[in-house]
Amino acid sequence: MSYISLLRAIEARELCRERVISIGVTKRLMDAVELMVAHGVRHLLKVEGEDVAGVLSVRDVIEELSRDPGNVFSTKIGDVGSREIYWVPQEASLMDTISALAEKDIGVVAIWRENSILCFVGEKDIIRTAARWDLRGRVYSAMSKDVRYLTPESTVSDAVRLMAREKVRHVPVVSSFGLIGMFTSRDLLNKLVGRTMEGVDELWLTSLEQVASPNPLTIDASSPLNEALKIMRSFNVGSLLVMEYGELVGILTERDVVKYIYKLIGGERIES
């Protein structure tokens, strides 16, 4: 079966895993952080009374905090995030869903059933499904080669600003001796929960050496792409650092994989 036939045969609703967690527009950003951590999600449905008011993503949170960490306590949910919701009907195919994610450059689409949102389907769901396929290609075919990294002496503030500027969620930490860790949006949210304003200020000045996750998962650039997807699914991570002869040469993210599959089904030539 071709990729196109396979993706047309799978309905998007079959991938429903990410629960729709809602948050009122009058709540504060810290409330959103706590909900994301508690439920393990990266997107929240913004609601105003019984009306849907948009979607708040972890990238929206990072962008707001990059301006001022104090915004975590002062900014209302209604003032951040998108008021637009990208959705597909529940009978839409996986091909439709991947196309929507890639063309809009977004992390999730809503699956619409009758007059309500059934669930969100996102990049992580695509990874879980694609890991079961015999997806052709090597890691270097899909990875991002322009890796933005920071040093151990860099601070959490530096990392947040980099994430916001480059629109990324994963920041490798590299010393003169090589790769030593990774700081992610998940790390950031986990460390924000329960802090006072004074605690947030302290976190912003903390070096990445103290807070980055050590021993990040890596993969060789020439490894089969399907092997990378299986690792990402097994360890529930959103990225792998790509190495070649012991050097960091790229990063493979969920979004990279979605865009790679989109190119496959769109007929664009892909290096293999």
**Tokens representing residue 236 in the block:** 């529930």
| pTM of the predicted model as reported, rounded to 2 decimal places | 0.90
Using CB atoms within 10 A of its CB, is residue 270 exposed (0-12), middle (13-18) or buried (19+)? middle
Residue-by-residue DSSP string for 10-54: SBGGGG--B---EEETTSBHHHHHHHHHHHT-SEEEEEETTEEEE
**Would you place residue 267 in the very low, low, confident or very high pLDDT band (cuts 50, 70, 90)?**
very low
Segment 162-177 mean pLDDT = 96
Q: Nearest to residue 230, comparing CAs of 197, 252, 215? A: 252
pLDDT digits (tens, 9 = 90+) for 193-249: 999 999 999 999 999 999 999 999 999 999 999 999 999 999 999 999 999 998 999
Number of Cβ within 10 Å of residue 122's Cβ equals 24
